[in-house]
Amino acid sequence: MSVPVVAVTRQIPSPGIAPLEEAGFVVRYREVDAACPADELTELAAPAAGLFCLLSERVDAALLDAAPNLRIVANMAVGYDNIDVAACVERGVMVTNTPDVLTDATADLTWALLLAAARRIGEGERLTRTGRWSGWRPGELLGTGLGGKTLGIFGMGKIGSAVARRAVGFEMDVIYHNRRPVPGATAGYVSLEELLTRSDVIVLNAPSTPETRHVIDAAALATMKPTALLVNTARGPLVDEAALVAALQGGVIAGAGLDVYEAEPVIHPGLLELDNVVLAPHLGSATHEARAAMVQLACDNLVAVLSGQQPLTPVISLR
Ligand code: GLV
């Protein structure tokens, strides 16, 4: 039997491709620290039985047709909206992701943005770094306290639940909206309408699907409290960015913290001009620990499938 070829679409952090080499695969490693353009991806994946890809690469029917030996697409991300899963299933190609190992890192980053937005950390940083700070003033950059306020979580999966657990320490009341109520959830299930109207802070932790696209649009923003904050560490398309800019400009809501954008890496120019939004460059899982575990899990999935075993974390069953 010939040795399987595994294509790795871009430079990955430690442990890198070591687990794939140890498994004896022929590794086609595009060791470039940038997204792989579609034509290069087609060329890279053509002879591969396994594809190690990231959220920056689009895996569609055309790519799958150009790689007829492909048996597994291992995405190094928990979200997999970059992959046409139906096209993979049609061709018998397994799709895996990297859940669990990034839950805490992403929940922490959600809180970092929430706190930064609530306490106006971005504005404060800009003030101090630009030499415009003239000393302590009792009315300077007043933010909002969180104790006793209501945190509304849209998407009560593993990350949403981890965000909720952290809210206990901040003494916030937690409510959530999900496709369906989550058994055993400690927070109260509410309709989307109630989540929007009652929450002082709304965090988005749901996957990007046709159903969640623009769940936060102009109408939803108008339903929120004028003092409310919005935090998105899920995927950009959940929010209508143009509507958010208008809402932040017009005082429809008070502020936002964003880690993800509709057309990454492009950011709506209106957001860049606003002081009441904290902007991070898609850092949800960006800790040494989480990224190493994501690389290892994606490699473990490749090794399992290419040696005839079940993957550890399939996104869908092929049977
Ligand atoms: C990052 O955004 C991920 O989905 O893992």
CB 104 within 8 A of CB 289: no
| Contact predicate 246/266, CB 8 Å | no
Q: CA 112 to CA 117: how far, in whole Å?
A: 9
Answer yes or no: is 270 within a domain.
Answer: yes
Whether 271 and 192 share a structural domain: yes
Per-residue pLDDT of 82-135, as tens digits, reads: 999 999 999 999 999 999 999 999 999 999 999 999 999 999 999 999 999 999
Say if residue 131 is in the same domain as residue 155.
yes
pLDDT digits (tens, 9 = 90+) for 178-189: 999 999 988 999
Render pLDDT for 301-314 as a digit per residue (tens, 0 to 9). 999 999 999 999 99
214 is catalytic: no
- Mean pLDDT throughout 231-236? 98
Beta bridge partners of 230: 202, 256
Domain range for 258: 103-279
Task: Give the percent of the chain with pLDDT over 90.
Answer: 97
Residue 1 has pLDDT above 80, yes or no: no
Residue 79 CA, closest ligand 1 atom number:
4
Residues 6+ apart with CB under 8 A from 17: 8, 27, 29, 299
Residues 159 and 204 in one domain: yes
Atom of ligand 1 nearest to the CA of 235: 2
pTM: 0.96
Distance separating alpha carbons of residues 94 and 228, to the nearest angstrom? 42
Q: Which residues, other chains included, contact 69 with Cβ-Cβ below 8 Å and sequence gap of 6+?
A: 5, 47, 48, 49
Catalytic-role residue among 28, 71, 282, 291: 282
Question: Considering the domain boundaries, does residue 311 fall inside one?
Answer: no
Q: Would residue 264 show up in a list of annotated catalytic residues for this protein?
A: yes
From the list 179, 251, 181, 167, the residue with the least C-alpha distance to 215 is 179
Residue 206 belongs to domain with CATH number: 3.40.50.720
pLDDT in tens, 35-68: 999 999 999 999 999 999 999 999 999 999 999 9
The rounded distance, in Å, linking the Cα atoms of 227 and 251 is 8
